[in-house]
Structures are given as structure tokens and as C-alpha cells.
A and B are shown apart, each in its own frame.
Chain A
Amino acid sequence: MGILEIKGVNKRFGGLKALDDVNLSIAENTTHAIIGPNGAGKSTLLNVLVGKLIPDSGSVTFDGQSILGRQPHEINQMGISRVFQTPEIFGDLSVFENVMIPCFAKRDGAFRMHAYESIFAEKAIQQQAEEILADVNMLEKRHMIASSLSRGDKRRLEMAMCLVQNPRLLLLDEPTAGMARADTQNTIALLKEIREKRSITMAIIEHDMNVVFSLAERITVLAQGTPLVEDTPDNIKGHPKVREAYLGEAQV
């Protein structure tokens, strides 16, 4: 049984079936890619997983506990972090503060009245934040205001904000979109390194097949809200149904 179990999940937007009887199991400590054409329902599925959307029917359990009906911050506190398709960062705050905030959330929970302590005295948090910024190669940008970063840097910052929480399940929604080729390679290397250093389960949505085949251990192909096939990368490459539904269109 996987750490994440999705069973019979449906989600409609008006007449559109964005998720149509989705069954998916993600095994602990694997990297699972979800691919599929635009509008297949990939982001919608992640929205269900982080509590942004409640499915019309079905069940979702993480580590044996249902996550449906829980608030997004409760789901994060269970150990799920997400990198969004369009970066969600604290634009008015410095890069360093952006990373410290999720760090505090991990240590102190959803709310704590730490109004009298000084940030400057939080050496352990600062050290964690510095380490993760060094990992994503952004330490020298720590004093920059986050909104002034390039698109690629914003994504890397958001990834650092998720990784600093040491999540059990990391959800990545097109993490390399908008990145230069060198940055994409760095991101692949970073995710591989993280995976070796600590036990982490990753679900990654990606359009760049290079990224998918470098990282994924399992691949699920989603089309029109339904999983078509699930298999190893090697088998997916040659799968006729997949070529027809997805890869054929991507091979330019």
C-alpha cells in the first residue's frame, strides 16, 4: 500500500469532468511522474491533494489518514508540501525570510504567539534556511526582495521553501517551466541529491520529457481526467497508447 492512496476521485467544473474516476497509488520513497496533455487535470489533481479543492466523490489518504475536508495548512502539517505551477512566494519579503517562514511553520505549528522573541536569536532556523539556500544556489541572493527575482529564481526559491520543511511528500507542478537549460539541469541534480540524502516521496508533473525520464521511477499518463496507463519509464516510452495520446503530440 502506497503512502498516498487516491481512490475513485471525481471532480466536475460545470459540465467539464476535470477528474474522472482517478485511482492512483504512490509508493513511499519513489518519484512518481504524472504526465499528460494540457488540460488533462494534472494541476486539478494536485489541488485536491493540498486541500485547495474538495472532490465530488472518492477518497484520498496520506499515510493511512484521510486528507479530505482538511484545511490546506493542516495537510501541510501532515507532511505534504507543494511547488505551484505559477510561483507562490512572499513577494514583499526577502529571500531569506521566505525560507524562514515555512521553517517556523514546521517547528512551531500553524500558529504560535512568538511576538517577544527576536528573529536574530533563532540561530537554528537561520542555519537551516542558509543551508537550503546554499543547496539551491541562492545564498548570495538572500537579501533580495523575492518579487524582484527572475522567474527561474522564483521557482527555485519556492522549491527551497518546500524542501526546508523536510516534507514526506513533495508535489511539484512543472518545476522547471520557465527555467533556462542550465537551471533545469541544476534542478534535476538538486532533486536527485535531496532524494539520496533523505527519504522523500515525490510526485512531479512535468512537460519536459528530459526531466521526467531523468527523475521518475513510475509514470502515470493522465488524459481527459482519467489515468490511461501507469508503468516504468522504459515501458512508457514504447507504449502505443501513450504515443497516441501524448508523446506523439510532444515529439516536434
Chain B
Amino acid sequence: MFGLESKDGKLLLLVAALALLAPVILNPFPEGSAMSQFNAGYPDLMQRFVIFGILAIGFNILFGLTGYLSFGHAAFLGVGSYAAIWSMKLVTMNIIPSIIFAVIVAGVFSLVVGYISLRRSGIYFSILTLAFAQMSYSLAYSVLTPITGGETGLQIKSTDTPLLDKALEAGEIGRANLFGYGMGSSYQLELAGWQFTFNLGYYVAAVVMLISFYFAIRIFRSPFGMMLRAVKSNQQRMNYAGLSPKPYTLAAFVISGMYAGLAGGLLVAMDTQVGPERMFWTASGEIVIMVILGGAGTLLGPVLGAGFIKYFENIISKINESILQGWFAFLPDGLQDFMVAVVYPFIGKGWHLTLGIMFMLVVIFLPGGLIQGGQKIGSWLRRKKNVVAKDSTTKPAE
């Protein structure tokens, strides 16, 4: 299918099905029930799942294949966002040109950063990318205020006059659209207590994510992808086999930078604003954690890791003390307070603690990430099934 081997085609279909049905799958609990706070099927969060999925897919092409660990990819995300919003300010509020512009600008910027950073490898490469990203953040925050809006960032105001669009009313805040349809427009489906929201913005982002995922599979299965794994494995041998590792690594860097720019453009398309914090070094670190948590070098891992982190950030962080009290209300008073006190540090603002512990457990016990965990469970289940099958075949003989 689409030039993919059948196994990869099935994987793409699976991801497509999950993405298209996400508004239903992610809302398993009826509205108003005690568990409904674990529902993740609302547009804002689902958009984040797929957009950060794109970011992680792109980062994995660099880190997963070549082993070069960039600590500055948030810079490309941010540059993509700024480029997208400028395209909206100057040309049109339609998201398509602005997303294309975001990808191009991020690509050019990553070419410059990559060309310089790739003069070194290992830890020095990581530090160089980190330095570039922090420089970008500081510039956006201060010196470049006329372009970036400084600390407050950028929005579309009524004073902006996009070339192709009607002027905004005084005081109106501009919202991105796709040929006139707002990204916020949704269709609500009520079904016997359940509530599902099908949001245009989410579906636009999901389709872009599927296309990105498709291209990533192509790259993984291409001679180019094999060369990138050769870069990770033995650059000496590449040289003596007649290959130049540098342009391969630079190409991977630029591709992953363009993926980040795409994600940055989509963030603006969904929520028409941007601030410099998008380029802060913790944002770069989060990308690294997503990919390692999910499984670097695997196709599905990065998407999984991105989903996991965004889920924690948005769901676990919203659980507060009174919700906890409710959960443990069935216990005797003293025990209830005790349980609340024990669990409390791990929820709400403490979600970082939970995530950190999880990350450590994964890195220590599953160096291949969550994907490896899935594979282990899968092979364990298969073994069990085989044992059962053997039992049932031996029984009639008795």
C-alpha cells in the first residue's frame, strides 16, 4: 500500500484508524461520571497529541537513526510558529500558506544551525544545539522584540492587515482558518451520557500527522535511512566505503528541523498566538524525553511517547486535593487523610514527579522505551497462548 511493505502498511492503517477515531477512543467515560476527568478526547488536548507527535517523529529521524542528540529542537518549533504567525499577519489568515512558510523557514534555520553544530559530535554537538536554542530564546525575548513581540509574544490584532483578507473589527483578535472554516469549529455528538467532540482543527492536524508519519516510514525503509543508521554505527567504515557521513547527517538534521517547524506552524494554526517560552530549553528537553520514553529508533515509539507526556501534563496535573478526597472517601477518616497525603505529591503540580519516576523506570528496565515494553508483553502473551494450545492438543490423546 502506497509503496509500503505490508507490515508497514498495516501500521499506517492502524495509526490512521486510531487518529480518526480518537475523539471516541479517548472519551471512554460518560460525561459527569467520576472517571470522566480521565477523558482526553477534547479538541485542545487531542491537537497537542498529534502536533507533538509530529515533532517527536521528526526528532526521531535525527536522534533515532543517526544517534546525534540535539538539545535545541524547540528552537525550530518556535521559529516555525513565528514564521506562521507572520505569514498570517502579512498575507492571509489561511493556515495552508502559513504552515508551508513555517516549514521553509525552520528548514533554512536548521540548515544553518546544523551546518555549524555538526562540526562536532557527541556531547559537544548537543551543547552547540542547546546554545543555539537558548540564544534564539533570548533574542526572541529581548533584542528581536519588533519581530517576536518580546515577552508577550504575538497575536493577530485588528491593526494587522493581511494582504488577502478582510480587515478585522476594532479590538477583535484574529483566528486562523482553513478557507473560512475556523479551527475551533466542532461537531458535538451526544450518545446516552457520552459526549464526543469532532473538531476541525484536530482533524487537520491529524491528517498532517498521518502524512508526516507516512514520510517517516518511507525514510526508515529507504537507502537514505540505512545510511543514517550507518552514521550511528560506524562513520569510519562509511568513509572507507566511499560515503561522506556529513551530508547525510546534515540532511537528517534539516528534515527533523522541518518536522519541528511544521509542528510549530500547526500550533499557531490551532491557537493563533506564540511566545518565546516555546523555545526555552525545557521544551527541547521535553522532546528528547518523549522520544526516549516511547522508544528511539522505532516508528511508533515517538508518537506514543508524545501522547504519554501530553496526557500526563494535561490530565494528571488537573487532579487536585478535593478530587483525591473523593476517591478515598470510602476509607475510614484517618486512613483517608493518610492516603491523600501519600498520593498528593504525585498529582496536580507534582505530575513532573510521576513523570520523572516513570521515565527513570523506563530507561532502567526498558531501554527500548514503551515500545519495547509492548513487545515484551506481546511475546509473553504469545508464549502463554502456545502453552495453552499445546495443552489442548495433548489432551485428546490421553
Contact = CB atoms under 8 A, between A and B. Distances in A.
Partners in one complex: yes
B241 A118 contact: no
Interface string B203-245: 0000000000000001101111111011011101111111110
Q: Using C-beta atoms within 8 Å of the partner chain, give the interface range for chain B.
A: 20 to 34
Interface of B: 3-5, 218-219, 221-227, 229-230, 232-234, 236-244, 247-248, 251, 255
A109 B221 CA distance: 20
Contacts of B221: 118-120
A111 B237 contact: no
Interface centre among A81, A89, A104, A165 (most CB of B within 10 A): A104
B363 to A, nearest CB: 19
A71 B234 CA distance: 16
A47 B13 CA distance: 51
Contacts of B243: 73, 101, 105, 110-111
Given A89-B234, A118-B3, A102 B241 contact: yes
B237 A89 contact: yes
Contacts of A101: 226-227, 230, 238, 241, 243
Given A76-B241, A91-B234, A104-B227, 15 more contacts: A71-B244, A88-B240, A90-B234, A91-B233, A93-B229, A101-B230, A101-B238, A101-B241, A105-B242, A113-B224, A115-B224, A116-B222, A117-B222, A117-B223, A118-B218
Nearest to B217: A118
A206 interface: no
Contacts of A117: 222-223
Tell me the dominant secondary structure on chain B's binding face: helix
A112 B229 CA distance: 15
Contacts of A195: none
A108 B247 CA distance: 14
B251 A113 contact: yes
Contacts of B251: 113, 115
Nearest to B219: A115
Interface of A: 50, 71-73, 76-77, 81-82, 84, 88-93, 97, 100-102, 104-106, 108-120, 122, 161, 165
B229 A165 contact: no
Given A90-B230, A97-B226, A72 B218 contact: no
Contact of A73 (B218, B234, B244): B244
8 contacts: A72-B239, A88-B240, A91-B234, A97-B226, A118-B221, A118-B222, A119-B221, A165-B241
B219 to A, nearest CB: 5
B223 A50 contact: no
B296 to A, nearest CB: 13
B90 to A, nearest CB: 32
Contacts of A72: 239-240
B223 A119 contact: yes
A111 B229 contact: no
Given A72-B239, A91-B234, A120-B221, A100 B244 contact: no
A91 B218 CA distance: 23
B222 A114 contact: yes
Contacts of A71: 239, 244
A93 B224 contact: no
B233 A82 contact: no
Q: Most B CB atoms within 10 A — which of A71, A88, A111, A117?
A: A111
B234 A120 contact: no
Top 7 A-B pairs, shortest CB-CB distance: A76-B242, A105-B242, A115-B224, A72-B239, A102-B241, A90-B233, A110-B244
Contacts of A119: 221-223, 225-226
Contact of A92 (B224, B229, B242): B229
Which interface residue of B219, B223, B240, B255 has the most chain A CB atoms within 10 A? B240
Nearest to A158: B237
Contact of A76 (B225, B229, B240): B240
Contacts of A114: 222-224
B223 A102 contact: no
